A and B are shown apart, each in its own frame.
Chain A
Amino acid sequence: EVQLVQSGAELKKPGESLRISCYGSGNSFTNHWIAWVRQMPGKGLECLGIIHPEDSISVYSPSFQGQVTFSADESNSTAFLQWASLKDSDTGIYYCARVVVAMTTYDRVYYYGMDVWGQGTTVTVSS
């Protein structure tokens, strides 16, 4: 069974760094992209961007470009989301999710939805 398992909840202070992880079992990384999605308290869903674990090619949503960093260790089927300096506004639940590729043309990739999700990592940033 394909599963994504995320690291545990984190309580951090503003300005601290953090890296959370997402481990994929059952070949969940092979030929797939991994997305990171945030849900702030009482709010909806936002996509931070996606990473291709096999070569670490990343596409960031403009709102999150420069604010977070994606990385991956494909040999260990693990993706990471990292902050260099946390802010209060980074508080939320962060999900990793496997992305289904619809098709690839010579100049772009088309994607279907996110079909397998991690359980979420709660990040609380507070002084």
Chain B
Amino acid sequence: DIQMTQSPSSLSASVGDTVTITCRTSQTISSYLNWYQVKAGTAPKLLIYDSMSLKSGVPARFSGRRSATTFTLTISSLQPEDFATYYCQQSFNMPWTFGQGTRVEI
């Protein structure tokens, strides 16, 4: 299985801050890395696919980058509705695996 190492596990930030979440994979997955936002009691929401493609309707303050097997999600100018848990996920090989999640708190 492809191992996903996501960091940090949690972070505290303020409205207007820029935060970055990192996901490292145990082997190459090309660009098949996706990012999801999960709020308590609701289904996950796809933010970014193919490591840096923004899903239609997702605010442009969300961005993704790739460097080899290291992927990052950056949220610029954090908004109140962005406080949630974020997961990376590889869709290159089955079993598809997720990172452990990063909780973004106020």
- The answer on a CB contact under 8 Å between A113 and B49 is yes
- The answer on a CB contact under 8 Å between A113 and B89 is yes
Which residues of B does A touch, CB under 8 Å? Answer: 1, 32, 34, 36, 38, 43-46, 48-50, 53, 55, 87, 89, 91-92, 94-101
Known: A61-B95, A113-B50, A113-B91. 5 other contacts (CB 8 A): A44-B99, A45-B87, A46-B98, A47-B95, A112-B32
Interface residue count for A (Cβ, 8 Å)?
27
Residue contacts A-B, CB under 8 angstroms, 16 given: A44-B99, A45-B87, A45-B89, A61-B96, A95-B43, A97-B43, A102-B32, A110-B32, A111-B32, A111-B91, A112-B32, A113-B89, A113-B91, A114-B36, A115-B55, A117-B46
Residue of B nearest to A98 (CB): B46
A59 interfacial by beta-carbon distance below 8 Å: yes
Return the CB mask of A55-76 against B: 1 if under 8 Å, else 0: 0000101110000000000000
Residue of B nearest to A65 (CB): B95
Contacts of B89 in A (CB 8 A): 45, 47, 113
Given A50, A63, A120, which contacts B43 in the complex, CB threshold below 8 Å? A120
A95 with B44, Cβ < 8 A, contacts A49-B94, A62-B95 known: yes
